[in-house]
Amino acid sequence: MCLLAVQYQLVPESPILVAANREEYFDRPSQPPSIQSGKPRVLCGVDQKAGGTWLGVNQNGLFVGICNRATTMPLFGQRSRGSLVMDLLRCTTANKALDKALAELSETQYEGCNLIIADAKAGYAVHSDQQQQVVDLKPGLNIIGAHDLNDPDDERVRMARRLLTLQTLDSPVKFLAVASRVFARAPVGPGRPSMVIRNKDYGTVSSSLIALGVKPRDAIYQFSNGAPDQTKYEDCSPMLRDILSRGLREARTKAKVSA
């Protein structure tokens, strides 16, 4: 399942603001966010079973996240969807990541998925099941779960939108403060929508809050290594600022050499 919200290009100093809950089987282990080796540098959690990730950011300010997509029949994926996310995070821009995603999805069979691919200049949602559909992220709040982007029939998407628009979230601090409460909304009863899912074997296993701004020093990454109604968000911002600063230095060096 999973639920992912992106407030896109609405706050000038932070064009990408993210809140996401990950749902998975409780017995499937994963590691919290860490800086991955290789170039460009990537900050993401790692699924220990398949080696991929559910969301991450690279040193160029590219964000990629994924939600499982509901399909009418199993697609018998040949490769982990999380591995695809890891591949896309090695791209330099959202446009290049989109091209890579569409090429890979057309060549390799994956289970149904919804991808969010965004940097400060371009943002996309990719719906992938038997076919692929690309939808541009609109400035403002974009929310995706197991169906289409901003699906009006998805109860969790509707609830998240209602709770995230009760007040104007015109700064990264406001967005993350409100999102931390919204995405920690505990289950309230059988059959009723909630942000945190808790079943016998499956449910919310982690939560992420991210702010990507113009300046690396203003970036924020908070991670709850468990359901956020029961597990405190920890600050991963120093790692995010480190890779973004590296990316900025490398870009400036490349520009000087080109000049």
The series of mean pLDDT values per 10 residues for the chain, 259 residues long, is 95 97 97 96 96 97 97 90 98 98 96 98 97 97 98 96 96 97 91 89 97 96 98 98 97 87
- The radius of gyration of the chain from alpha carbons, rounded to an integer in Å, stands at 17
First to last CA, the chain: 48
pLDDT for position 74: 84
pLDDT for position 59: 98
Domains and CATH numbers, the chain: 3-258 (3.60.60.10)
pLDDT for position 189: 78
Q: CB-based contacts of 96: which residues, under 8 Å, 6+ apart? A: none
pLDDT for position 193: 81
Q: Are 30 and 48 in contact (CB under 8 A)?
A: yes
pLDDT for position 234: 98
pLDDT for position 256: 85
- What is the C-alpha separation between 85 and 67, in angstroms, rounded? 11
pLDDT for position 254: 87
- What is the C-alpha separation between 238 and 220, in angstroms, rounded? 8
